[in-house]
């Protein structure tokens, strides 16, 4: 997939990418999830905040942490309008409240970056009874995205087609497991062959006696991120909205996400 700046590499910083795409950021409303100190979310917030977005919504499950990042962005970019949003993706009640807060302030969302994610080894569930990695990494973002869909469609109506975007952060971990449609909660149900992990994985990726393996659950959630991205673009491209899934990598991951969010040269291919 061609990009505007073929010279970008693992040394390219998020700040330089944001500066290159300043015209695509300026005056637009941007929502970022998973924003905390010393994180990819913070790097995204600092880079985007430096280029005069109309409104920058920073979301995290921990109010004190997201406020810390918001204060840092304000210090470096005092003219940027920033709103901190408490968002616990393991709670559908919290997701509804967070979306309502955004909806009460803007009637359009130009860019949504679903950056939040988690990985745990022991089985836990969300307050709604869903395996916590699938519930947080996929279902939570699925709900949050759909609650903001009217605002995204409003943005697309007055924007160049394809410039209204949803970026879903996945990882190479998707290779560990397909989506277990027959047993996404790891309840010990039988799953067909095409929903099982690939052959040849090391023993650490084998399910425990209870049928759970945190790495496989993580892999399933990352596969779901990709499938959600494909679905979004297939169903929203006609409305001018596209979605990209991004593996940020180990170096300059925020820069990779910024290219996906703002590079006008990116075109979806089916």
Catalytic residue among 8, 184, 212, 218: 218
Give backbone dihedrals phi and psi of 201, rounded to 5 degrees, phi first: -70, 150
From residue 58, alpha-carbon distances to 98, 102, 105, 113 in Å are 11, 10, 13, 10
What's the farthest any 2 CA atoms get from each other in the chain? Answer: 56
Q: Is 218 a catalytic residue?
A: yes
Say if residues 217 and 133 touch (Cβ distance below 8 Å).
yes
Instruction: Give alpha helix (H) positions in 106-242.
Output: 132-133, 141-147, 149-157, 214-236
Distance of alpha carbon 44 from alpha carbon 226, whole angstroms = 21
From residue 28, alpha-carbon distances to 54, 155, 159 in Å are 5, 9, 10
Contacts of 67 (CB under 8 A, 6+ apart): 84
Name 168's bridge partners.
Answer: 114, 245
Distance of alpha carbon 233 from alpha carbon 223, whole angstroms = 16
Tokens of 94: 């919290």
CA dihedral 41, 39, 143, 174 (to 10 degrees): 120
Residues taking part in catalysis: 218
């Amino acid at each position: 997939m061609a990009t505007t700046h073929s010279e970008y590499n693992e040394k390219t910083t998020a700040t330089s990418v944001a500066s290159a795409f300043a015209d695509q950021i300026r005056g637009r409303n941007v929502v970022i999830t998973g924003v905390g100190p010393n994180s990819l979310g913070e790097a995204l917030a600092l880079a985007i905040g430096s280029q005069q977005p109309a409104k920058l919504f920073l979301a995290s499950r921990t109010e004190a942490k997201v406020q810390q990042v918001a204060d840092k962005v304000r210090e470096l970019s005092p003219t940027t309008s920033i709103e901190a949003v408490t968002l616990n993706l393991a709670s559908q009640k919290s997701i509804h409240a967070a979306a309502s807060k955004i909806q009460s302030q803007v009637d359009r969302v130009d860019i949504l970056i679903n950056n939040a994610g988690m990985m745990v080894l022991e089985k836990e569930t969300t307050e709604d009874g869903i395996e916590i990695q699938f519930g947080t990494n996929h279902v939570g973002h699925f709900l949050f995205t759909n609650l903001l869909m009217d605002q995204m469609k409003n943005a697309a109506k007055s924007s160049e087609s394809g410039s209204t975007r949803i970026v879903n952060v996945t990882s190479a971990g998707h290779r560990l497991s397909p989506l277990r449609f027959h047993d996404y909660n790891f309840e010990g149900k039988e799953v067909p062959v095409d929903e099982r992990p690939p052959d040849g994985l090391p023993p650490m990726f084998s399910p425990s006696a209870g049928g759970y393996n945190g790495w496989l659950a993580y892999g399933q959630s990352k596969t779901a991120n990709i499938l959600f991205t494909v679905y979004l673009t297939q169903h929203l491209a006609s409305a001018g909205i596209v979605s990209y899934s991004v593996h940020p990598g180990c170096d300059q991951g925020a820069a990779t996400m910024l290219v996906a969010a703002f590079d006008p040269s990116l075109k979806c291919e089916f």
